[in-house]
Amino acid sequence: MLELRPNCECCDRDLPPEAADAVICTYECTFCRGCAEAKLGGVCPNCGGNLVARPIRPPHMLAKHPASTKRILKPEGCAA
């Protein structure tokens, strides 16, 4: 099950579970679309994998399986 991390690892922007502009890699590293495109070129700086749109968990399932509250921030790995 996806963690649905709450922020962009580059800029620390909030990315709530319903955020349509959140992207993830295969390891669930999470970024906003702006950082993913402008700074990262669509490639995860942690694993080198591609970044894709993070799915949105339906509200009734979010109540049963809540999103993560653990923030991860690695701005040093996101330099343009």
Look up the pTM and report it: 0.94
Domain boundaries, the chain: 1-67
- Summarize pLDDT for 15-56 with one digit per residue, the tens: 999 999 999 999 999 999 999 999 999 999 999 999 999 999
> CB 47: neighbour CB atoms within 10 A?
11
Residues 6 or more apart in contact with residue 13 via CB below 8 angstroms: 7, 32, 34, 35
Q: How big is the CA angle at 44 (ends 74 and 30), to the nearest 5 degrees?
A: 60
Residue with tokens 């669509």: 42
- pLDDT digit string, tens, across residues 22-31: 999 999 999 9
Domain covering 1-67, topology: Herpes Virus-1 (3.30.40)
